[in-house]
Chain A
Amino acid sequence: DTEVTQTPKHLVMGMTNKKSLKCEQHMGHRAMYWYKQKAKKPPELMFVYSYEKLSINESVPSRFSPECPNSSLLNLHLHALQPEDSALYLCASSQEVRLAGTGNEQFFGPGTRLTVL
């Protein structure tokens, strides 16, 4: 299984709502990532988990709260978002250890398209 799955595919929420994005992979990868991508812009790294521990937080506002319940799952909890947070949210995973001659290339899920009203 070389797939990263994400749910939901689309999400519309108001600024007072609380919602969660989910990501799952079964490739045995121990590094998992959240990216935010606006239209015609590159993906921007938000968070990285390594062995279920938060490794990188790119100064993301606290209205985004990541969670890694186990090695296969990654969640992103959303609360009190702003309209400018509307974007495609991408989850990715990679190997923890880079083998000689290979990169820790990331496998991306299809993304959740989020609209904040």
Chain B
Amino acid sequence: GQNIDQPTEMTATEGAIVQINCTYQTSGFNGLFWYQQHAGEAPTFLSYNVLDGLEEKGRFSSFLSRSKGYSYLLLKELQMKDSASYLCAANTGGFKTIFGAGTRLFVKA
């Protein structure tokens, strides 16, 4: 079967660092995406990993371990506007992407 697991909710403090984990089990795998989705809005692309290792993009970094079926999204210097849902998504081949249920991040002052 196809399965993506990520924590339901996390809370962190403004200015801090937070790591959102994701594990996946899919029948095919062509890369792992992270999207940010604010309530009532469309998902926006944050990062893509297809090879093992860390990809850094400003305040956001994403890590992938293909052998472990594991990824994380690291958010540094948290800001209030980072309060959103973060969706882990796996491309399983071709145009098929399956999404995790999302992790709702609350950033408090």
Contacts and interface: CB of A to CB of B under 8 A. Distances in A.
Interface string B86-107: 0101010011111111100000
Nearest to B50: A103
A66 B43 CA distance: 21
B48 A42 contact: no
Contact of B91 (A56, A104, A107): A104
A117 B31 CA distance: 39
Interface string B30-59: 110100000011111100101000000000
Given A31-B95, A41-B101, A45-B96, A90 B45 contact: no
A109 B48 contact: no
B45 A33 contact: no
Interface in A26-44: 31, 33, 40-44
Contacts, number: 59
A42 B102 contact: yes
Nearest to A100: B50
Given A103-B31, A110-B42, A48 B48 contact: no
Given A103-B31, A103-B48, A105-B33, A33 B95 contact: yes
A56 B95 contact: yes
Interface of A: 4, 31, 33, 40-45, 48, 50, 55-56, 88, 90, 94, 98, 101-111, 113
Q: Which 4 A-B pairs have the closest CB atoms?
A: A42-B99, A108-B42, A103-B48, A105-B45
Interface of B: 30-31, 33, 40-45, 48, 50, 87, 89, 91, 94-102
